[in-house]
Each structure stands twice: as C-alpha cells, then as structure tokens.
Amino acid sequence: MQIRRTLKINSPTTIRFLTENAAEQIPDFTAEIDQTSIRYEGKQTIIYCGIGKADHCTTATLRSAAARAAQSVQKLKRTSVACIVPSLSIDPVETVRAIIEGICLGAYKFVKYKSEKPVPIATLDLVGATASPGLIRTSRQICEAVNYARDLVNENAGIITPAYLAKEARRLGKNGDLTVTVLDVKSLQRKGLNLITAVGAGSPTPPALILLEYEGAARGRTKTAIIGKGVTFDSGGQNLKPTGSIETMRQDMAGAAAVLAVFSAIVKIKPKLNLIGVIPAVHNAIGSKAFFPGDIYTSYAGKTVEVWSTDAEGRLILADAIAYCRDRYRPAAIIDLATLTGGIITALGEVTAGLFSTNDELARNLFDAGEKTGERLWRLPLYKEYSDSLKGDLGDLRNLSKFKKGNASSITGAAFIREFAGDTPWAHLDIAGTAYNEGSARGEIPQFATGFGVRLLMSYLGI
Ligand code: BES
Ligand code: ZN
Ligand code: ZN
C-alpha cells in the first residue's frame, strides 16, 4: 500500500472519523465507537467512523475505527481511499500512526487458499497529516512486518518447517547489517543443545537454531536479545494432543514469526541499535524417533531435565536457546516470546499476554510498550514455591510442576525457563492467547494469526 500526505481529497472514497459531538449534523449517525456508515454524497462515497466522546478517544479507538473503515473500503472494492486526519487531543503524530496501523492491519486477510481474492487497497491519502514522511514510512514498514508475521503463522505447517524459517532468516540476512547463522542438527548435537534435538527428534524435518545479529550501533554497545519459540507444529509428541487442541498448532511458531518480522522491519528502518534474534525451530512430532516421556536429557547449560510431558516442549527448546544465547552473545537483556501454555488463555483470555520477568525495569518498559501499542501485557509472579515445584527426583529439573495437573501452568512454565536465564535480565511473554484469534476479527486484529508482539517489540526498542 502506498501512503501519501495530501492537502486535498483526490479520491472518490473518503474516510471521516467523527466524535459524538461532531456527528450531530449527520442524520442517523451517533458516532458511537464501533459505528460505521457508508454514505453517498454527490460523487463522493464517505465512510463515517464513530470514535465516541472526544475526551475518551484514544489511539486504540482510532486504530480500531480505521481498521473497520479499511474493511468497508474492501467491501466496496475501492483501490484508493482518502482519510481525513482528525484533530483530537491525542498527539497528532500518534493519530497518524494509529490510522496507518488501523488501515494496513485491518485490511489484512490470508487469502492464499481462497479462490476469490479481495481487491487490495493500493493507495491511502492522509489528508492534513502533520506527521513526517519518515514516520509515515516507518509506520507502514512496521505494519508490513506484522502482516508478514501473520502470513508465516497462517501458512500450512507442511510448508513452514524449521528449514523454511531458516531460509527466511537468510533472506533477511542478504541485507548488509544483518548476519544470519543457522546451526543445523549436527552442530546442535556437537554443541550439546540436547533439549532442542530431543524435541526435534521425531520429525522428518530436522531442528535448527537460527541466529540473527543486527549491528546498527557501535560494536560493544548494549545488545538486547529477542528469542521466539519456533515449534512449526506442536502435535504434543508422544503425549499427543487430542482433537480439539491439535488443529491450531501451526500457530506454535508465532514467537519465531514475531522475531523474524521485527528483523524484517529493522533491516529496512536501520535504527541505531544492536539486536540479537534467536529462534529454536523444531517440529514436535510423534513417530518412531520421537523423544520419550520419562527420560532425562542433559541441557546445553548442563542441568538435567526429566521429561514429564513431551507436550511441554516449548520450555525445553527455550531453555537451550536462552542458555546458548547468553553464552555466545552476553546480551544486556533477553526477551522471549512463546505460545507456551493453554493456561495463559484461561488466565487472561485472548486479550492480554502474560509477562514474567526477573527485572522490574525491563518488565515496566515492556508493560508500557504494551499500553502504548495496544498489545497489552499483564505481569504474573515468579515466587519461589513455583520453582520448588519443578525440582526433579532423578534429574535436576522436571518439565512439568508437581502441582495438580494444569494448575498455574503458565507460571511454572515461566519458572522453568527462568532457570536458564541466570543473572541476565530476562522477560518472558506468553502469547498463547494473543497470537491467534479463533473468534472473528476485532478491529485491527484479524481472525487467526494476529502478528502479536511485533509492534510491541518495535515500541520497546524505541522505534
Ligand atoms: N503449544 C502449546 C501451548 C498452546 C496452547 C499454544 C494453546 C497455543 C494455544 C504448548 O506446547 C503446550 O502444549 N502446553 C501445555 C503445557 C502443559 C503440558 C504443562 C498446555 O498448555 O497444556
Ligand atoms: Zn506442547
Ligand atoms: Zn507448544
């Protein structure tokens, strides 16, 4: 989508945002949040979008209204649209950003397997936008990254293998500032990343550890690492998932997709920072070579792990990925994103991701980025009792807590991963509820893959 700043309306289709007060002259339109109405006035088609009371209107209201407007534009099959940028009490730059996000993200649909494809919106004119062309470009590039993450998650698990994710990383690495290294199964074995190779053992498509290094600032400046769970399909392994749980498990690489997407935006925007990306990529399969429940495996960090469920595989691959990342890069902070537990859906629904951290400042900054972007987080505790419940009998740790089945599974999952973060400030985002929307579209959040985490991380990184 091309986005331009204009002063005049050059398109027969126009989006207008209206507050309740401003809507008084429009018949049969009260401008409540969620209200959208298409009117024909002379040669113009006007899409009115309600944004409620002026003093309650936030960037989230605007983003969501713009998304609904984009969906109306698509229903009308219009390929160009003008949008009058409203002047509100919100910062004008944030207003523009929210509108771009709403339209670019709201227009997204995964149509690869649909015989009938919608007409894409080719141009968006922002009428009266005060934001700089640079900001407009950056916002668009971030949205394209979100849609890229969505495409990766929505695509068939038969296509999105560990090798495919590695190929995508290498493609991004063609850009000069990004170095991509892929550890194949042989090097994983040689280096002792045994938890990753154990989880990947049952699949005909071998595991990989994908490493991305972006150097946009001076060498030696602080490096943040982002790590994404890349289970390209989670069958549960020998603890096979039942019907009702297994169908959506191609989403289990949504953390990896978010990490790749962040780098896809970074190589275009070229911010002055250093960033490490790590993706443990595996297919958790059932089969004659699959790893065994009850067995004990030695992790890269040296701690031994009793496998009580092959379906609690995310924490296993993250444990090795985090330990290896610390060893190799010594990052100042590690943030992992993982569709880790069904429990987080019980706790926070599809609306909010779980936040766990060993560092209050890191947690606060992530929380703030969540509030700003609308990709919201809520922090949960990591008290000692949770860690105690993970002590092994024959090995050092067990991958399931001793709590009653399912109790506090998101917290004990996080507490397990923490054992491998050492003294590196670390945060874990459990995105199992927010990465995939099984309901219908909600504003800028489409049905199925949502691309959750990309805007959040970009905002956290100050972009
Ligand atoms: N990938 C799943 C978690 C998941 C569930 C993601 C629903 C997205 C939607 C994860 O590997 C898993 O199976 N977790 C188990 C953990 C349990 C065995 C402690 C779960 O949540 O049931
Ligand atoms: Zn699982
Ligand atoms: Zn999983």
pLDDT in tens, 206-246: 999 999 999 999 887 889 999 999 999 999 999 999 999 99
**Residue 363, burial from CB neighbour count under 10 angstroms (0-12, 13-18, 19+):** middle
Candidate list 68, 150, 241, 376, residue with the active-site label: 241
| Residue 120 DSSP class | P
Please state, in angstroms and rounded to a whole number, the distance separating the CA atoms of residues 338 and 384.
22
Closest atom of ligand 1 to 245 CA is: 7
Q: Tens place of pLDDT for every residue, the chain, 463 residues?
A: 999 999 999 899 999 999 999 999 899 999 999 899 999 999 999 999 999 999 999 999 999 999 999 999 999 999 999 999 999 999 999 999 999 999 999 999 999 999 999 899 999 999 998 889 999 999 999 999 999 999 999 999 999 999 999 999 999 999 879 999 999 999 999 999 999 999 999 999 999 999 999 999 988 788 999 999 999 999 999 999 999 999 999 999 999 999 999 999 999 999 999 999 999 999 999 999 999 999 999 999 999 999 999 999 999 999 999 999 999 999 999 999 999 999 999 999 999 999 999 999 999 999 999 999 999 999 999 999 999 999 999 999 999 999 999 899 999 999 999 999 999 999 999 999 999 999 999 999 999 999 999 999 999 999 9
Cβ(313)–Cβ(321) below 8 Å: no
**Residue 50, burial from CB neighbour count under 10 angstroms (0-12, 13-18, 19+):** buried
Residue 246 Cα to chain centre, angstroms: 20
- Whose Cα sits closest to atom 14 in ligand 1? 341
- Whose Cα sits closest to atom 8 in ligand 1? 432
77 is catalytic: no
Please list, in sequence order, all residues whose beta carbon lies within 8 angstroms of the beta carbon of residue 289, skipping any fewer than 6 positions away.
201, 202
- Helices 59-75 and 92-106, packing angle to 10 deg: 40
Q: How far is the CA of 218 from the CAs of 221, 223, 273, 381, 459, in angstroms?
A: 6, 10, 8, 36, 21
**Statement: the pTM of the whole predicted model exceeds 0.85:** yes
Q: Which two tokens stand for residue 396?
A: 């050092």
Helices (H), 132-161: 133-154
Q: Which two tokens stand for residue 167?
A: 């190929």
Cβ(44)–Cβ(82) below 8 Å: no
Residue to mutate, 250, 341, 429, 434, ligand 1, most ligand atoms under 8 Å from C-beta? 341
- State the chain's maximal CA–CA distance in angstroms: 79
Q: Which two tokens stand for residue 204?
A: 């005909």
**Which one, of 2, 11, 7, 73, lies nearest residue 36 by Cα?**
73
Helix, strand or coil, per DSSP, at residue 12:
coil
CA of 231 relative to ligand 3 center, distance in Å = 6
Question: Would strands 426-430 and 333-338 be described as parallel, antiparallel, or unpaired?
Answer: parallel
Q: What are the pLDDT digits (tens) for 408-460?
A: 999 999 999 999 999 999 999 999 999 999 999 999 999 999 999 999 999 99
75 is catalytic: no
Cβ(51)–Cβ(31) below 8 Å: yes
Cβ(398)–Cβ(391) below 8 Å: yes
Closest atom of ligand 1 to 341 CA is: 21
Secondary structure E strands in 35-140: 36-41, 44-50, 80-84, 123-127
Secondary structure E strands in 190-267: 208-215, 223-228, 230-234
Residue appearing with tokens 């397990």: 416
Residue 414 Cα to chain centre, angstroms: 18
Candidate list 109, 229, 250, 315, residue with the active-site label: 315
Q: Which two tokens stand for residue 36?
A: 């959208």
Residue appearing with tokens 């090798």: 163
| Pocket around ligand 1 at a 6 A CB cut-off | 234, 251-252, 309, 311-314, 339-343, 400, 409, 432
